[in-house]
Structure 1
């Protein structure tokens, strides 16, 4: 006899409490195997595929693409133990569970992206995060999902002052911060579950009512018109981080123009002499990253963070170098681990690998966190200079503009040289202008005379 088991959105680690459905990988009626990915979701850290711990026939899905679900909300239901049709594999309850219990067994918990259950997955699966303990599933009867109306604060709704259906503590905290009574919010989730989008919608409605002038009505309508883009997922996380950096870090910026002609010639010589299919070409960004690690060895004050509560500057022994990468989902900063122990070729290979993962949306949370210094190549956008916001909780960021031919006095004569503008934005709490200027001057010297680097190689 078939049993219908409910699979809920699991804990994806890294303190994440919710995720947005990006793409369903299965349809109702599809046969799924144990540990097969069934949905792709976007968290505040990265895009992840979520595997189902049950094998069987999908009987229902909950949430349309674009919907935001809290951890613990139902994702889909699976009928297990059904007789397969011709040509279809038999379905089963995950290995190691009692009949009808649906107890799940953890596999390959290593602190990365995916959540895995069961023992029937291939050995060469991707690494996965340790999920929260899975409650033993019991046979349930689940009705077909019905689209819910958009949630708005409704006068008189939920007049009974009992508990409200909210899964995420983040949703309750958000409501408290804005003085919103959750009893007056209609949830759009299953069984009236109040989601974060419901609370945000209620807050927006209340703010608009308070801020909208009484007259003229026509002007009010025109002011409120326009496309609204939710700040959530990766873009929302970036917005929160940048806002925090601007609030907490007293930053300053210094900059200098540098003659990069010799650097470009050195790169051409490297790639002409040793590049091949096995050893790819060294990029300008990789050379600048190597220059950064050499400069940080001389000025370790900039490879640090500030513990505001303890009122201490924490100087970090390793350099984990972040680099800004623009993607369709927004700005991300992948991190090259232990950049201080790598040469330019190794750094370049890692930058290429992480850039491809960023482009395809496959970066893991671990690859986006833990940076100690950031290199921002905004020259790829065709601009010369910028004063970027520091990547909190780091202490500095080196910005690189485009490299373009410009008039330049070289050896006492006017010549056309390849010129780049370099800028350093730094936390003024960790150092003064002398240290910041010394760091930037050393970087510029290495750009103008790459042989300077030979002393540190």
Structure 2
């Protein structure tokens, strides 16, 4: 007597992504209805207010339904997809079982489906057995089944899954291709094993822009019909404030509403700092960045002026001075401004700070920062000099109490040792929450930072 299928259709919901995140936007589906998925295989790429991540599915089986189109924003707990899973102790006895193509090394009739780690899924008279190793489902046929609110074909698995995900170096590459109307399946990757790189997408975009556009001839307008030259003026383009951009907008707006901030600034002679950096980089080893030196100066300054490493508890009307420095630094990416956080920056050397800043910066460029990488900061360092500007009045990164801004380091006339000379000068600006300290404390902090920039030997006292 043939064995009956032990089937189940499981619903996978958008999981809690941590850090208080309550929703995410579907950026790209990585599977189609009818695809066979393995346990912990990424099935969808989503963007939260903190980062862009690939979400793995905890079930193995066949995708029977997807919920939400790309660009849809879903709250945590909403259904993402349904997966049909099941198992049969004797696959050969299952009615209507469909064979699968396996590699010769895997062809072993003495090993049954259950003991070899196979996954059996079936619907009525159709079933598919798929190995968790390299498996290519051959075909499956059967009636349709209901999944959620819609009726969809149960299994339509082709011999070659041409609709599967395309290997790219990062999620940002997928998004760049999508925003420019490129089909990744038509691109030839130049990376290892055909991996599609950012340069491949950029090259395809340039080629597309150089193609002559076919513009239809404009239809003639009757003389009796007036044409309003300003008909579309004022409509404008509407860009949704969501994802990273929306999170930044909310945080900056809240900062302006809640924090009575003030800004002070000073010019500093950075010639000696740049000379010290050059000397540090002469021995073999990882180079020391200017940002790492400034980060170390900030931690030393915060040790002397702990009022600026704090936050305000408005409910209890208390200033909370924090025991450690978790240093955020502003990083511009293709997805917008993000602020990765270097944990326990006060306990790191310049070299360790540089290594962690480099790691977080690379993750930011790839869109691979986790929510934990972007939260928990106590003080922020903003190097806007990379944009070629000298000064700014930074908006404090709520709920922190201060932010140090650093302009570009450029040669300028400067009085040095009583004589006019050309020196490397930088403008430093400090935005601070006036509730946590007065101008004397803020000015003392900024002056100490400037003194360390001008005389890096002062840092030796805190090393």
TM-score by length of 1: 0.70
Aligned match for 1:254, one of 264, 288, 294: 264
Partner of 1:35: 40
Partner of 1:263: 273
Equivalent residues of 2:379, 2:400 under 8 A apart = yes
Aligned match for 1:6, one of 7, 11, 30: 11
Determine helix, strand or coil for the equivalent of 2:391. coil
Query: Partners of 1:91 and 1:328 in 2: how far apart?
Result: 46
Aligned length: 342
Q: Tell me the CA shift for residue 75 of structure 1.
A: 1.5
Pairing 1:62–2:64 present: no
Q: Tell me the CA shift for residue 224 of structure 1.
A: 4.4
Q: Tell me the CA shift for residue 388 of structure 1.
A: 0.7
Pairing 1:76–2:81 present: yes
Pairing 1:400–2:406 present: yes
Query: Partners of 1:363 and 1:33 in 2: how far apart?
Result: 25
Query: Partners of 1:295 and 1:418 in 2: how far apart?
Result: 22
Aligned match for 1:226, one of 236, 257, 261: 236
Query: Partners of 1:296 and 1:91 in 2: how far apart?
Result: 62
Query: Partners of 1:77 and 1:369 in 2: how far apart?
Result: 32
The alpha-carbon distance between structure 1 residues 47 and 315, as it changes in their structure 2 partners (threshold 3 A), is same
Q: Give a deviation string over 1:79-103, Cα, whole Å, max 9, x none.
A: 22385632399999xx9xxx99xxx
Q: Tell me the CA shift for residue 8 of structure 1.
A: 2.0
Partner of 1:364: 370
Q: Give a deviation string over 1:227-263, Cα, whole Å, max 9, x none.
A: 1111111111111010000000000000000010000
Q: Give a deviation string over 1:249-282, Cα, whole Å, max 9, x none.
A: 0000000000100000000000012x33xxx101
CA RMSD, 1 decimal? 2.7
Determine helix, strand or coil for the equivalent of 1:357. helix
Query: Partners of 1:323 and 1:44 in 2: how far apart?
Result: 17
Query: Partners of 2:77 and 2:37 in 1: how far apart?
Result: 21
Q: Give a deviation string over 1:325-383, Cα, whole Å, max 9, x none.
A: 11111111111111111111001100001111111111111111111110000000000
Query: Partners of 2:371 and 2:395 in 1: how far apart?
Result: 21
1:151-230 pair list within 5 angstroms: 222=232, 224-230=234-240
Q: Tell me the CA shift for residue 144 of structure 1.
A: 4.4
Determine helix, strand or coil for the equivalent of 2:292. helix
**Structure 2: gaps spanning 5 or more residues:** 88-97, 107-111, 123-131, 134-144, 154-227
Partner of 2:245: 235
Determine helix, strand or coil for the equivalent of 2:361. helix
Determine helix, strand or coil for the equivalent of 2:252. helix
Equivalent residues of 1:408, 1:414 under 8 A apart = yes
**Structure 1: gaps spanning 5 or more residues:** 101-119, 122-138, 147-217
The alpha-carbon distance between structure 1 residues 145 and 385, as it changes in their structure 2 partners (threshold 3 A), is farther
Query: Partners of 1:69 and 1:84 in 2: how far apart?
Result: 38
Aligned match for 1:320, one of 320, 326, 330: 326
Equivalent residues of 1:55, 1:91 under 8 A apart = no
